[in-house]
Amino acid sequence: MTTGLIPGGQPPDRPKGTRMPQQRREQTGHAALSVDNRPRSSVITARAAASFEPVGRSVATARSFVRDTLQGWGFADIVDDAVVLTSELVTNAVVHAGTQADVLCLRTEDGVRIEVADRYPEREVPLQSAAVTMGSPDREGGRGLQLCAALADRWGVDYTPTHKNVWFQLDPPERPVGTRTAGPSLPADLLPLADGRVRVAVVQIDREGAVTSWNEDAGELFGYAADQVTGKPLTDLAAWPHTPGTSTGIAEALRLSRWEGSYGIRGADGRVTPVYASHLRVRDTGGEPSTVCLLVRDHERAVLQTPLRGPAADTPPVADGQGADPFEVFIGSPAPDDLDGLLQRTVERARDMLDGDSAFLLLATDDETELEVRASTGLPSARQRFARVPVEAGPGRYGSARMPAVHDDLAAVPGAAPLLDGTGMRSVVTVPLKVEGRLTGSLGVAAEAPRRYSNEEALRLQFAADRIALAVESARLGELERLRRGSLSFLVEASDLLAGTLDRDQTLALMAQMTVPTLATWCAVYTIADQASEPYLSYVLHEDEELIDGIKSLLSKVPPPDPVPTPGARVWTAPGEVAHQAALRTSMRSLGLSGGRPPQQLSAGIGPTLATASAVGGETVVLPLVARNRVIGMLTLGKPTDEHFRQEILELAEDLSRRAALALDNARLYSERTAISQSLQRSLLPPGLPQIDGVEVEVIYRAAGEGNEVGGDFYDLFPISDGAYGFAIGDVCGTGPNAAAVTGLARHALRLLAREGLSGPTVLERLNSAILDEGARSRFLTLLYGEMRPQPDGSAELKVVCAGHPLPLRLRQDGTVEAAAEPQPLLGVIEDLELYEETVTLDPGDVLLCVTDGVTERREGARMLGDDGLADVLTTCTGLTAGAVAARIMRAVERFASDAPSDDMAILAMRVPGLQKD
């Protein structure tokens, strides 16, 4: 229970077996608490008991238990007070205290005693020395004892070491036998106005709507004799006030089980007499239905009109003497600031106002074609929240959410309220929420018993709905504005993230991470390689990482959704159905049930855990990923068991899917372009280096730029004939396809010409002519070409031609470094090119280093490595192998500047083995 503790105090110690003193009411101006010393030794004539688990549904069940018990005992006059007190006390036990609630109903000679016990005895009632202010009745907790003090004839609190028991007693009112309702005595001038004789017309209508009975008072009121109207449709006489935009008429009203309201009857003199009518649908012993209509003049409606329940007697007036704001009376003060809090408070107060077992509130979508469940109480809210139902569910008034409706028995009209299917509710009253004539929502209250509601309750609920509609719409618009701002911020951030990568796998991961858990509980991305390919499950993500593998396994066994290019989200039921079947099989295996099949047959198939089945068992939607008029995949979003997506989330997901589709397609195009570029780049480089006896060779090649565009630097080392090997390292001006054409031409032409036995200068001169023949595509080329022949004495003879390329450097064993060739004109510029070759002998231990200008032109601000810097690094490589020399040069180049290289780099190191230093 939610009573306050004594400030700074503890529950008093008491001997085992003793009880706390009982409590009773005293008239002290406030509802104060004091000791009740009256004996409780009344004779018990009947007993009923029940226990309720600590779940929200137990409160409604407890109310039904008390209501049915007291009605069965004949205490209908005190049922309402008993149900209200039981509801508050059980709520305190199962919701606030979080324990089981035990309800005991006792019938005594004096009345009814009801006891509610919980398992949370640590709390105690406030001090009794002075009047106690229990707090505002509008707050959600702490009202149980206050209501007991206000409504019960006697009440109290008993403590034991393990239980706290709150009891109250209600005595039946002393009323004359047979009285259903009564009003106070009034002065004559306040009584309803009527003629000298009140005439009540009794008209009976058959199945077809024709008059079958017409009494004397009907003839006096309307001027028709019975034989003049018998057999004629009542619609010929009635002047029905049609509601604009609806098809509701008297013919439909006559088919309703009960109806009460005003219309007109056209008399024999042609005048219309306004009447107040009460209709009741009955059937005779043969089962033939008919409608009995009681009619009085409209100003005499008090004779037939069901008395409206007046405002509570204890409603406090405001300071200026005016009545309290109906909205504040219904919702309570202060009203919740957030929409969800306001809606939840609304359904709870509506349920309590009509003493229902459940209540729900739906909000209309922008186009007013569907209603979305936003709050409920007494219903499985997880299953219903954000579920959508159509506004117009059928023809006529009762199939439209735009008009009030009362359903006496849902079991007699299956599907009349789809939202309540399977919930055990039998009767329901629903009213629309309208703002300036526009439908904004629907409020409903339901009960487990049939025929619980009539027009009176519908009018009361409509009155409350009219008072809260504007507040609800204002809060909804505020939430929608916040959601749209958040959606815009979300889409901007998502666009930045998606635009920041061109990697396909990273794009898939970003798509899933942006949707989970912001938009959905789990996400799966399907991709389609081309129009002839089936969708492929590429990525799965769940907010609980332990469930990812199970969901991936389940989805891999489900046929993928169809790649429909139609925009918008569509529901995909296959995962939920398979998850349900898998969970059923898992439960059967756990119970040892095989259903007539061998156990090994049950164990085959998907077989996910129950947790996986629950995670995928909710609503699943599919959004197409369309880019450049082609479906390239599907984005699948899912909720756990029995949850639905709200419309705003689906619209946001649709916007995200469009951006994600374009990013994914850009990543695909970039990947294809990069793959082509890298493949072409590899084709311009030798597949491998030959093994040369007596010479160590090492090559390092680093292409600059993202994606490693083709063109730029190249190298080659290949056998010629008779133990001779050709080597080359070159640099084509620029990058891209034109440079790649020159690169491929140069490398392949060198091999062909060298193997024809031509000298180095001749080879380069013919290559120069071939480059010039390319015309506008030609590019100038710097090239170092040479032929190497290992010698019997361990040395190696080189013939080198350096056409505009950085000069090769020779490292001797003594650490000296010198240029191994002289510069000559580059290729691709001059037609009549005359070149010559130079001979270089590498002694054992000597190293020949050849690089491209990407090495020597490495810059850090205004500084450049240059030929001298390269020579300084090379002097430190004495005694190193060719591989170690190339690696040290590359490290020095990388460390020279912090920025990434802006040009391709190629390093070719050749060393004649000799004595190595320790």
Report DSSP state, residue 197: S
The one-letter amino acid code at 83 reads: V
**Higher local confidence (pLDDT), 850 or 60:** 850
| Average pLDDT for 815-819 | 93
Q: Residue 842 — very low, low, confident or very high, per pLDDT cuts 50/70/90? A: very high
Specify the pLDDT at position 37.
43
Report DSSP state, residue 424: T
Helices then strands (H, E): number in the chain? 21, 36
| Average pLDDT for 257-282 | 86
| Average pLDDT for 686-693 | 85
Residue range 474-501, pLDDT digits in tens: 888 888 888 778 778 788 888 888 888 8
Specify the pLDDT at position 777.
65
**Rounded to the nearest 5°, which phi and psi values hold at 55?**
-130, 155
Specify the pLDDT at position 520.
87
In whole angstroms, give the CA distance from residue 616 to residue 619.
8
Residues 6+ away with beta carbon under 8 Å from 558: 574, 575, 578
Specify the pLDDT at position 335.
63
Q: Residue holding tokens 């008059």? A: 211
Residue range 340-397, pLDDT digits in tens: 888 888 888 888 888 888 899 999 887 778 888 888 888 865 456 677 788 887 655 5
- Nearest of 908, 887, 785 to residue 836 by alpha carbon: 785
In whole angstroms, give the CA distance from residue 54 to residue 59.
9
In the predicted model, is pLDDT for residue 577 greater than 90? no
Tokens of 803: 């056409």
Tokens of 851: 């690089």
User: Which residues face 539 on adjacent strands?
Assistant: 525
Cα–Cα separations (whole angstroms), residue 119 to 49, 84, 94, 97, 123: 16, 21, 10, 8, 11
Residues 6+ away with beta carbon under 8 Å from 123: 1, 3, 5, 11, 164
CA angle 709, 710, 711 (to 5 degrees): 125
Q: Residue 326 — very low, low, confident or very high, per pLDDT cuts 50/70/90? A: low
Tokens of 897: 């500047």
User: What mean pLDDT is reported for the chain?
Assistant: 79
| Region of 397 on the Ramachandran plot (φ > 0 left; ψ -120 to 50 alpha; else beta) | alpha
In whole angstroms, give the CA distance from residue 147 to residue 92.
13
Tokens of 298: 């409209």
In whole angstroms, give the CA distance from residue 106 to residue 58.
20
In whole angstroms, give the CA distance from residue 701 to residue 679.
15
**Higher local confidence (pLDDT), 709 or 579:** 579
Is residue 467 within 8 A of residue 483, CB to CB? The reply is: no
The one-letter amino acid code at 119 reads: R
Q: Residue 897 — very low, low, confident or very high, per pLDDT cuts 50/70/90? A: confident
- Nearest of 715, 884, 726, 896 to residue 811 by alpha carbon: 884
| Average pLDDT for 810-825 | 92
Where do the H-state alpha helices sit in 322-394? Answer: 326-331, 339-353, 381-384
Is residue 550 within 8 A of residue 612, CB to CB? The reply is: yes
Residues 6+ away with beta carbon under 8 Å from 671: 502, 503, 504
Is residue 415 within 8 A of residue 428, CB to CB? The reply is: no
Pairing of strands 781-790, 388-390: unpaired
- Ranking 158-162, 240-244, 440-444, 863-867 by mean pLDDT, the lowest is 240-244
Pairing of strands 258-266, 201-205: unpaired
**Higher local confidence (pLDDT), 399 or 887:** 887
pTM beyond 0.85: the answer is no
Residues 6+ away with beta carbon under 8 Å from 898: 860
Residue range 285-312, pLDDT digits in tens: 888 899 999 999 888 888 888 765 444 4
| Average pLDDT for 320-324 | 45
Is residue 889 within 8 A of residue 849, CB to CB? The reply is: yes
The one-letter amino acid code at 393 reads: A
For 567-606, the DSSP string reads SS-EE--HHHHHHHHHHHHHHHHHTT--TTS-HHHHHSS-
- Ranking 223-237, 324-338, 835-849 by mean pLDDT, the lowest is 324-338
Cα–Cα separations (whole angstroms), residue 434 to 142, 361, 445, 466: 34, 13, 17, 7
In whole angstroms, give the CA distance from residue 106 to residue 49.
9
In the predicted model, is pLDDT for residue 838 greater than 90? yes
Is residue 413 within 8 A of residue 404, CB to CB? The reply is: no
- Nearest of 651, 699, 682 to residue 905 by alpha carbon: 699
Residue range 508-567, pLDDT digits in tens: 888 888 888 888 888 999 998 877 788 888 899 988 888 888 888 888 888 888 888 888
Specify the pLDDT at position 429.
93
Is residue 458 within 8 A of residue 404, CB to CB? The reply is: yes
Specify the pLDDT at position 837.
92
Q: Residue 718 — very low, low, confident or very high, per pLDDT cuts 50/70/90? A: very high
Where do the H-state alpha helices sit in 250-380? Answer: 250-253, 326-331, 339-353
In whole angstroms, give the CA distance from residue 417 to residue 384.
13
